[in-house]
A and B are shown apart, each in its own frame.
Chain A
Amino acid sequence: MAAPVGGASGIDRAPFEQFLIHEARLLDERRFRDWMELFTEDGTYWVPAVPDQNSPFDQASLFYDDRDLMRTRVERLEHPRIHVQTPPSRTAHLIGNTLIEQADEAKGEYVVGSTVIMVEYRDDQQRMFAGRQHHRLRREGAGFRIVQKRVDLINCDSAFEAMAVPI
Protein backbone atom coordinates (compact mmCIF):
# COMPACT_ATOMS: atom_id res chain seq x y z
CA MET A 1 0.00 0.00 0.00
CA ALA A 2 1.27 3.44 -0.85
CA ALA A 3 2.24 5.79 1.98
CA PRO A 4 -0.30 8.55 2.67
CA VAL A 5 0.51 11.71 0.75
CA GLY A 6 -1.49 14.05 2.99
CA GLY A 7 -4.46 16.20 2.17
CA ALA A 8 -8.16 15.51 2.06
CA SER A 9 -9.09 12.53 -0.07
CA GLY A 10 -12.09 12.08 -2.33
CA ILE A 11 -12.38 15.75 -3.33
CA ASP A 12 -11.88 16.74 -6.93
CA ARG A 13 -8.86 19.02 -7.08
CA ALA A 14 -9.69 20.49 -10.49
CA PRO A 15 -12.05 23.33 -9.43
CA PHE A 16 -9.56 24.46 -6.78
CA GLU A 17 -6.66 24.43 -9.23
CA GLN A 18 -8.76 26.33 -11.73
CA PHE A 19 -9.53 28.96 -9.10
CA LEU A 20 -5.85 29.38 -8.18
CA ILE A 21 -4.90 29.69 -11.85
CA HIS A 22 -7.63 32.31 -12.31
CA GLU A 23 -6.37 34.27 -9.30
CA ALA A 24 -2.78 34.17 -10.59
CA ARG A 25 -3.93 35.33 -14.02
CA LEU A 26 -5.73 38.35 -12.56
CA LEU A 27 -2.44 39.38 -10.90
CA ASP A 28 -0.40 38.81 -14.07
CA GLU A 29 -2.90 40.87 -16.09
CA ARG A 30 -2.73 43.64 -13.46
CA ARG A 31 -6.46 43.34 -12.82
CA PHE A 32 -5.84 44.19 -9.16
CA ARG A 33 -9.38 45.35 -8.44
CA ASP A 34 -10.85 42.08 -9.74
CA TRP A 35 -8.22 40.24 -7.68
CA MET A 36 -9.31 42.11 -4.56
CA GLU A 37 -12.94 41.18 -5.24
CA LEU A 38 -11.99 37.51 -4.86
CA PHE A 39 -11.54 38.12 -1.13
CA THR A 40 -14.41 38.00 1.36
CA GLU A 41 -15.19 41.27 3.15
CA ASP A 42 -13.23 39.99 6.17
CA GLY A 43 -10.56 38.46 3.91
CA THR A 44 -6.83 38.99 4.48
CA TYR A 45 -3.70 38.74 2.37
CA TRP A 46 -0.58 37.84 4.35
CA VAL A 47 3.07 37.44 3.41
CA PRO A 48 5.04 36.80 6.63
CA ALA A 49 8.52 38.27 7.12
CA VAL A 50 9.97 35.29 9.00
CA PRO A 51 9.61 31.51 8.48
CA ASP A 52 6.77 29.90 10.51
CA GLN A 53 5.53 33.32 11.65
CA ASN A 54 2.75 32.72 14.18
CA SER A 55 0.86 35.95 13.93
CA PRO A 56 0.65 39.12 11.83
CA PHE A 57 -0.34 41.13 14.92
CA ASP A 58 2.81 41.19 17.06
CA GLN A 59 5.54 41.52 14.44
CA ALA A 60 6.03 43.09 11.03
CA SER A 61 5.05 41.28 7.82
CA LEU A 62 6.00 41.85 4.21
CA PHE A 63 2.28 42.21 3.49
CA TYR A 64 -0.67 42.02 5.84
CA ASP A 65 -3.70 43.58 4.17
CA ASP A 66 -7.30 43.51 5.26
CA ARG A 67 -9.84 44.75 2.71
CA ASP A 68 -9.33 48.39 3.74
CA LEU A 69 -5.59 48.24 3.11
CA MET A 70 -6.12 46.15 -0.02
CA ARG A 71 -8.36 48.90 -1.41
CA THR A 72 -5.68 51.53 -0.75
CA ARG A 73 -3.06 49.27 -2.33
CA VAL A 74 -5.20 48.76 -5.44
CA GLU A 75 -5.97 52.48 -5.75
CA ARG A 76 -2.25 53.18 -5.51
CA LEU A 77 -1.44 50.56 -8.14
CA GLU A 78 -4.04 52.12 -10.44
CA HIS A 79 -2.65 55.64 -9.95
CA PRO A 80 -0.89 56.87 -13.10
CA ARG A 81 1.94 58.52 -11.12
CA ILE A 82 2.96 55.72 -8.74
CA HIS A 83 6.77 56.03 -8.90
CA VAL A 84 7.61 52.43 -8.04
CA GLN A 85 5.46 51.21 -10.93
CA THR A 86 6.79 53.64 -13.52
CA PRO A 87 7.43 51.58 -15.62
CA PRO A 88 5.04 48.86 -14.38
CA SER A 89 6.11 45.35 -13.36
CA ARG A 90 5.36 42.45 -15.65
CA THR A 91 4.83 39.21 -13.78
CA ALA A 92 4.36 35.53 -14.55
CA HIS A 93 2.92 33.30 -11.81
CA LEU A 94 3.21 29.54 -11.88
CA ILE A 95 1.04 27.55 -9.44
CA GLY A 96 1.62 23.85 -8.84
CA ASN A 97 1.81 20.98 -6.33
CA THR A 98 -1.74 21.78 -5.28
CA LEU A 99 -3.13 19.83 -2.35
CA ILE A 100 -6.43 20.21 -0.51
CA GLU A 101 -5.06 20.18 3.00
CA GLN A 102 -8.29 20.63 4.96
CA ALA A 103 -11.90 20.31 3.91
CA ASP A 104 -15.14 20.98 5.74
CA GLU A 105 -17.72 20.09 3.10
CA ALA A 106 -20.65 20.90 5.43
CA LYS A 107 -19.44 24.49 5.93
CA GLY A 108 -17.97 24.72 2.42
CA GLU A 109 -14.53 25.74 3.77
CA TYR A 110 -11.22 24.48 2.49
CA VAL A 111 -7.52 25.06 2.99
CA VAL A 112 -5.61 24.58 -0.24
CA GLY A 113 -1.83 24.46 -0.28
CA SER A 114 0.20 25.09 -3.42
CA THR A 115 3.66 26.10 -4.55
CA VAL A 116 3.95 29.50 -6.21
CA ILE A 117 6.72 30.89 -8.37
CA MET A 118 6.49 34.48 -9.55
CA VAL A 119 8.97 36.02 -11.93
CA GLU A 120 8.89 39.80 -12.01
CA TYR A 121 10.44 41.96 -14.71
CA ARG A 122 10.71 45.70 -14.34
CA ASP A 123 13.04 48.45 -15.48
CA ASP A 124 15.49 46.04 -17.14
CA GLN A 125 15.74 43.76 -14.09
CA GLN A 126 14.24 40.35 -13.52
CA ARG A 127 13.84 38.70 -10.11
CA MET A 128 12.12 35.62 -8.77
CA PHE A 129 9.93 34.87 -5.77
CA ALA A 130 9.06 31.33 -4.69
CA GLY A 131 7.32 29.68 -1.78
CA ARG A 132 4.43 27.70 -0.45
CA GLN A 133 1.05 29.40 -0.28
CA HIS A 134 -2.14 28.54 1.56
CA HIS A 135 -5.59 29.69 0.54
CA ARG A 136 -8.45 29.44 3.02
CA LEU A 137 -11.40 29.31 0.65
CA ARG A 138 -15.14 29.54 1.20
CA ARG A 139 -17.51 28.06 -1.36
CA GLU A 140 -19.84 30.73 -2.74
CA GLY A 141 -22.31 29.73 -5.42
CA ALA A 142 -20.45 27.93 -8.16
CA GLY A 143 -17.08 29.39 -7.15
CA PHE A 144 -14.94 30.31 -4.17
CA ARG A 145 -13.91 33.38 -2.25
CA ILE A 146 -10.66 33.83 -0.38
CA VAL A 147 -10.89 34.15 3.41
CA GLN A 148 -7.13 34.22 3.76
CA LYS A 149 -4.22 33.96 1.37
CA ARG A 150 -0.88 33.35 3.05
CA VAL A 151 2.35 33.18 1.04
CA ASP A 152 5.44 31.86 2.80
CA LEU A 153 8.38 32.89 0.63
CA ILE A 154 11.49 30.74 0.98
CA ASN A 155 13.55 33.94 1.39
CA CYS A 156 10.97 35.84 3.47
CA ASP A 157 13.56 37.00 6.03
CA SER A 158 15.93 38.35 3.39
CA ALA A 159 16.42 42.05 2.59
CA PHE A 160 14.20 43.09 -0.32
CA GLU A 161 14.08 45.83 -2.83
CA ALA A 162 10.62 47.37 -3.13
CA MET A 163 7.79 44.86 -3.60
CA ALA A 164 5.14 46.81 -5.41
CA VAL A 165 2.80 44.07 -6.62
CA PRO A 166 1.26 41.21 -4.61
CA ILE A 167 2.84 37.76 -4.96
Chain B
Amino acid sequence: MLAEKVGAARAAEILTPRLHNSLIYPNMSIMGLNIHVRVIKPIAVDRTEVTIYPIRLVGAPDAMNFGNVRLLNVTHSASSFVQTDDLESFVRAQKGLRSLGTDWVDISRGLGDEEPDRELNATRALATHEMVVRAQYKAWAGYMREAA
Protein backbone atom coordinates (compact mmCIF):
# COMPACT_ATOMS: atom_id res chain seq x y z
CA MET B 1 0.00 0.00 0.00
CA LEU B 2 2.73 2.40 1.03
CA ALA B 3 4.83 1.36 -1.97
CA GLU B 4 1.94 2.10 -4.34
CA LYS B 5 1.60 5.54 -2.83
CA VAL B 6 5.22 6.67 -2.61
CA GLY B 7 7.21 4.14 -4.66
CA ALA B 8 9.23 1.14 -3.49
CA ALA B 9 12.43 3.03 -2.73
CA ARG B 10 10.75 5.68 -0.56
CA ALA B 11 8.60 3.01 1.17
CA ALA B 12 11.71 1.03 2.10
CA GLU B 13 13.29 4.22 3.42
CA ILE B 14 10.21 5.02 5.57
CA LEU B 15 10.02 1.47 6.91
CA THR B 16 13.71 1.32 7.88
CA PRO B 17 13.88 2.35 11.55
CA ARG B 18 16.33 5.16 12.24
CA LEU B 19 15.70 5.80 15.88
CA HIS B 20 17.54 8.51 17.72
CA ASN B 21 16.84 10.78 20.66
CA SER B 22 16.84 14.57 20.39
CA LEU B 23 17.46 16.92 23.27
CA ILE B 24 16.22 20.49 23.22
CA TYR B 25 18.05 22.18 26.09
CA PRO B 26 17.28 22.61 28.87
CA ASN B 27 14.17 20.50 29.35
CA MET B 28 12.68 18.80 26.32
CA SER B 29 13.52 15.41 24.89
CA ILE B 30 12.12 13.74 21.80
CA MET B 31 12.67 9.98 21.82
CA GLY B 32 12.09 8.12 18.60
CA LEU B 33 11.11 4.88 20.28
CA ASN B 34 8.30 6.27 22.43
CA ILE B 35 4.73 6.87 21.31
CA HIS B 36 3.54 8.91 24.23
CA VAL B 37 3.90 12.35 25.78
CA ARG B 38 5.34 12.68 29.23
CA VAL B 39 5.01 15.91 31.20
CA ILE B 40 7.41 16.30 34.11
CA LYS B 41 6.19 18.88 36.61
CA PRO B 42 8.44 19.97 39.50
CA ILE B 43 6.33 20.43 42.66
CA ALA B 44 9.00 20.87 45.32
CA VAL B 45 12.73 20.25 45.69
CA ASP B 46 12.04 16.62 46.57
CA ARG B 47 8.76 16.10 44.71
CA THR B 48 8.06 15.75 40.98
CA GLU B 49 4.79 14.80 39.32
CA VAL B 50 4.94 12.94 36.02
CA THR B 51 1.85 12.68 33.82
CA ILE B 52 1.88 10.47 30.78
CA TYR B 53 -0.46 10.40 27.79
CA PRO B 54 -0.57 7.79 25.01
CA ILE B 55 -0.76 9.14 21.48
CA ARG B 56 -3.74 7.95 19.44
CA LEU B 57 -2.77 7.82 15.78
CA VAL B 58 -5.68 9.10 13.67
CA GLY B 59 -6.72 6.48 11.14
CA ALA B 60 -4.47 3.77 12.58
CA PRO B 61 -5.99 0.33 13.28
CA ASP B 62 -7.43 -0.16 16.79
CA ALA B 63 -4.89 -2.90 17.44
CA MET B 64 -2.03 -0.48 16.82
CA ASN B 65 -3.49 2.17 19.15
CA PHE B 66 -4.08 -0.48 21.81
CA GLY B 67 -0.46 -1.55 21.30
CA ASN B 68 0.59 1.99 22.26
CA VAL B 69 -1.63 1.97 25.36
CA ARG B 70 -0.40 -1.48 26.36
CA LEU B 71 3.24 -0.42 25.97
CA LEU B 72 2.59 2.66 28.10
CA ASN B 73 0.95 0.55 30.83
CA VAL B 74 3.99 -1.72 30.85
CA THR B 75 6.66 0.98 30.72
CA HIS B 76 5.28 4.07 32.45
CA SER B 77 2.08 3.49 34.44
CA ALA B 78 2.32 3.69 38.23
CA SER B 79 2.52 -0.12 38.30
CA SER B 80 4.73 -0.53 35.22
CA PHE B 81 7.70 -2.88 34.91
CA VAL B 82 10.13 -0.05 34.08
CA GLN B 83 9.06 3.17 35.77
CA THR B 84 8.59 1.57 39.20
CA ASP B 85 12.27 0.67 39.46
CA ASP B 86 13.18 4.11 38.05
CA LEU B 87 11.06 5.79 40.74
CA GLU B 88 12.78 3.70 43.40
CA SER B 89 16.14 4.87 42.05
CA PHE B 90 14.96 8.51 42.16
CA VAL B 91 13.77 8.06 45.76
CA ARG B 92 17.18 6.66 46.71
CA ALA B 93 18.96 9.49 44.84
CA GLN B 94 16.88 12.02 46.77
CA LYS B 95 17.82 10.36 50.04
CA GLY B 96 21.47 10.68 48.98
CA LEU B 97 21.02 14.32 48.03
CA ARG B 98 19.85 15.12 51.55
CA SER B 99 23.36 14.34 52.69
CA LEU B 100 25.52 17.36 53.54
CA GLY B 101 28.67 15.36 52.82
CA THR B 102 29.43 17.05 49.50
CA ASP B 103 28.41 20.21 47.62
CA TRP B 104 28.58 18.47 44.24
CA VAL B 105 26.62 15.79 42.42
CA ASP B 106 29.20 13.22 41.39
CA ILE B 107 28.79 11.99 37.79
CA SER B 108 32.25 10.49 37.42
CA ARG B 109 31.27 6.82 37.33
CA GLY B 110 33.18 5.09 34.55
CA LEU B 111 35.31 8.17 33.81
CA GLY B 112 38.32 7.02 31.79
CA ASP B 113 36.77 3.65 30.94
CA GLU B 114 35.09 4.88 27.76
CA GLU B 115 35.99 3.09 24.52
CA PRO B 116 35.90 4.39 20.97
CA ASP B 117 33.32 2.69 18.75
CA ARG B 118 34.85 3.03 15.29
CA GLU B 119 31.92 1.42 13.52
CA LEU B 120 29.46 4.03 14.80
CA ASN B 121 32.07 6.80 15.00
CA ALA B 122 31.08 7.29 18.63
CA THR B 123 32.17 6.61 22.18
CA ARG B 124 30.97 3.60 24.08
CA ALA B 125 30.62 2.87 27.80
CA LEU B 126 28.80 0.44 30.06
CA ALA B 127 25.12 1.32 30.38
CA THR B 128 25.49 1.93 34.11
CA HIS B 129 28.40 4.31 33.62
CA GLU B 130 27.68 8.04 33.61
CA MET B 131 29.30 8.86 30.28
CA VAL B 132 25.95 9.88 28.80
CA VAL B 133 25.29 12.36 31.62
CA ARG B 134 28.75 13.89 31.23
CA ALA B 135 28.34 14.06 27.45
CA GLN B 136 24.98 15.83 27.72
CA TYR B 137 26.27 18.51 30.10
CA LYS B 138 29.37 18.98 27.96
CA ALA B 139 27.23 19.42 24.84
CA TRP B 140 24.93 21.87 26.63
CA ALA B 141 27.88 23.96 27.80
CA GLY B 142 29.24 23.88 24.24
CA TYR B 143 25.97 25.09 22.68
CA MET B 144 25.72 27.91 25.21
CA ARG B 145 29.29 28.99 24.41
CA GLU B 146 28.50 28.97 20.69
CA ALA B 147 25.38 31.07 21.25
CA ALA B 148 27.18 33.61 23.43
Contacts and interface: CB of A to CB of B under 8 A. Distances in A.
Contacts of A131: none
B62 to A, nearest CB: 7
A1 interface: no
A54 B60 CA distance: 20
A94 interface: no
Interface in B62-105: 62, 65-66, 69-70, 72-74, 77-79, 81, 83-85, 87-89
B111 to A, nearest CB: 24
Given A57-B62, A161-B87, A63 B49 contact: no
B31 interface: no
A54 to B, nearest CB: 13
Given A57-B62, A58-B66, A161-B87, A76 B81 contact: yes
A115 interface: no
A107 interface: no
A98 to B, nearest CB: 25
A165 B70 CA distance: 18
A163 interface: yes
Interface residues of A, number: 26
A73 interface: yes
A66 to B, nearest CB: 9
B69 A56 contact: yes
Contact of B85 (A56, A73, A84): A84
A5 interface: no
A74 B74 CA distance: 13
Interface string A133-167: 00000000000000000000000000111111010
B140 to A, nearest CB: 28
B69 A58 contact: yes
A136 to B, nearest CB: 20
Interface in A47-62: 47, 49, 56-62
A88 B73 CA distance: 22
Contacts of A62: 77-79
A104 B52 CA distance: 39
Nearest to A166: B79
B109 interface: no
A82 interface: yes
23 contacts: A49-B77, A58-B56, A60-B52, A60-B73, A60-B77, A61-B77, A62-B77, A62-B79, A63-B77, A63-B79, A64-B70, A69-B74, A83-B88, A161-B78, A161-B87, A162-B78, A162-B79, A162-B83, A162-B84, A162-B87, A163-B78, A163-B84, A164-B84
Interface of B: 49, 51-54, 56, 62, 65-66, 69-70, 72-74, 77-79, 81, 83-85, 87-89
Interface of A: 47, 49, 56-64, 69, 72-73, 76, 82-84, 86, 159-164, 166
